[in-house]
Chain A
Amino acid sequence: MRNLIQFLKKFRDFLIFFILQVFVLTLFFNSKDYHRSKMTNTSSSIIGWFVEKKYNIDKHFSLSDANEKLLDANAKLKAQQPESFYLLQGDIYYVNDTLKKEQFQYIPATVINSSSNKRNNYFTLNKGSAQGVEVGMGVISDDGVIGIIADVSHHYSIVMTVLTEKSSTNVKLLKNNEYWFLTWDGLDSDFAQIDDVKRDIPIEIGDDVVTRGGGTQFPEGIPVGTIDEIISKDGEQTMGLNIKLNVNYNAVYHVYVIKNMMKDEQLNLESPYLEDE
């Protein structure tokens, strides 16, 4: 009898352990898809407050670095678009043009929390739904693609970066528009991978890879990286590519959230033809 009670007690402990484990692991595995993740994270207000306080201290150590980058970006923009001018409305910058219809607007934001050495790396931004950030928007920096907004609160948002398990960015080769999906194997934050590349495409090391722009998140031609290594195994029909990423994910300070004005139009048109994923 005593043994039985002892056993039942052990079994109860294990059962509670098991149920809790199932609960947290479900949360964790669901979090990998950005449209299914719902949990407290650094976008919630209490944690966000702490993280922002920490950032307010941290930022002084990286100010000169960040300023230099901004200066670079400003110089580049000035050289590129002398004729277009920027109108300031609230916190959104947009190009005024009568010939072309405006499609993308950019919401500037600052990275207040980040990681780059985990299997799934997320950034926290200091802009949220109050500034017009929505789940599913693309995020870029001056150097290239950062990721996709996975969660927003009133004043903060979470970016699922390219450096996550489930991220697959639509990219293409700049010189001949061949397109693929970019994924990350979790081994090195400087390199991402492309699989299933056909062998008859003329590819050279050093070729530029940019966003394809077919989805609703990114405009076409945002830089992603350059081809660093071509992995071809004997007897396989396809090759793999190692892409040296343009963005140094250890040092991202200022980013832009991309608002696509024609997203709903495109999705409405596409939805009858594309299966829901």
Chain B
Amino acid sequence: MNNAWVKYGSYFVLIVLIQGLVVNNIEMSIYVNPMIYPVMIIMLPFEFNILLTMLVAFVLGISVDAFSNTFGLNASAAMVIGYLRPTVLNIIKPRDGYDPVLLPSIHDMGKLWFLAYATVLIFIHHLWFFIIEVLRFDQIGQILLKTLFSLTFSLFLIMLFQYIFYKPSKK
């Protein structure tokens, strides 16, 4: 148990710093605003309590907000996927359920499953983020473009992050 707390705590600090100091500085275009920090929520264990997930999302979002001067925007988007994650996991559940030893990662669940799972959650996250950020219905096209382009880059970064920092779980 202790071990897990240390592990997730260090992932948390690492992810916030990568997002705040590196990824936030990728400014290719107004349409590309990649985010790596949702990986923290995505990679929580399968049976993680929904209230704890929202708490993690809240603290994570506020920390990222502090780095990017967005005052609660990231916290809001992170909590949305924290709240919806159990539902999404339930919908794409394999026939014989999830093995509690495994993690929702590329290594444990396979590329295709992970891509579907991450795409759904990151899409919801980005869509919510940009809708709240822009909040104008006449710019709905812009919001969708921002969501799609940022989604592509975020997914790439998240998969890269997994290949670098995660190992397959031991069965």
Residues of A within 8 A of B (CB): 13-14, 16-17, 20-21, 23-28, 30-31, 37, 39-42, 44, 47, 50-51, 54, 58, 113, 115-120, 122, 124, 158, 186-189, 250
Counting CB contacts under 8 A, is B20 at the interface? yes
Counting CB contacts under 8 A, is B24 at the interface? yes
User: Using Cβ atoms and an 8 Å threshold, which residues of chain A touch B30?
Assistant: 117, 186-189
Closest to B79 in A: A20
Counting CB contacts under 8 A, is B96 at the interface? no
Q: Report the Cα distance A143→B117, complex, angstroms.
A: 47
Q: Report the Cα distance A21→B72, complex, angstroms.
A: 9
Q: Report the Cα distance A119→B133, complex, angstroms.
A: 6
1/0 per residue B9-37: CB within 8 Å of A? 00000000100110011011110110000
Question: Judging by beta carbons under 8 Å apart, are A20 and B132 in contact?
Answer: no
Can you list 29 A-B contacts (CB < 8 A)? A13-B51, A13-B54, A16-B51, A17-B54, A17-B83, A20-B79, A21-B79, A24-B62, A25-B132, A27-B71, A28-B72, A37-B71, A39-B72, A41-B65, A41-B66, A42-B68, A42-B69, A47-B67, A58-B25, A117-B32, A118-B68, A119-B134, A120-B133, A158-B69, A186-B134, A186-B142, A187-B30, A189-B30, A250-B27
Interface residues of B in 121-164 (CB under 8 A from A): 132-134, 139, 142
Partner of A17, one of B29, B61, B79, B133: B79
User: Using Cβ atoms and an 8 Å threshold, which residues of chain B touch A14?
Assistant: 83
Q: Which of A16, A28, A41 is packed against the most chain B CB atoms within 10 Å?
A: A28
User: Using Cβ atoms and an 8 Å threshold, which residues of chain B touch A47?
Assistant: 20, 66-67
A163 → chain B closest CB, angstroms:
10
What is the total number of residues of chain B having a CB less than 8 Å from a CB of chain A?
Answer: 36
1/0 per residue B47-63: CB within 8 Å of A? 00011001000100110
Question: Judging by beta carbons under 8 Å apart, are B58 and A41 in contact?
Answer: no
Question: Judging by beta carbons under 8 Å apart, are A40 and B66 in contact?
Answer: yes
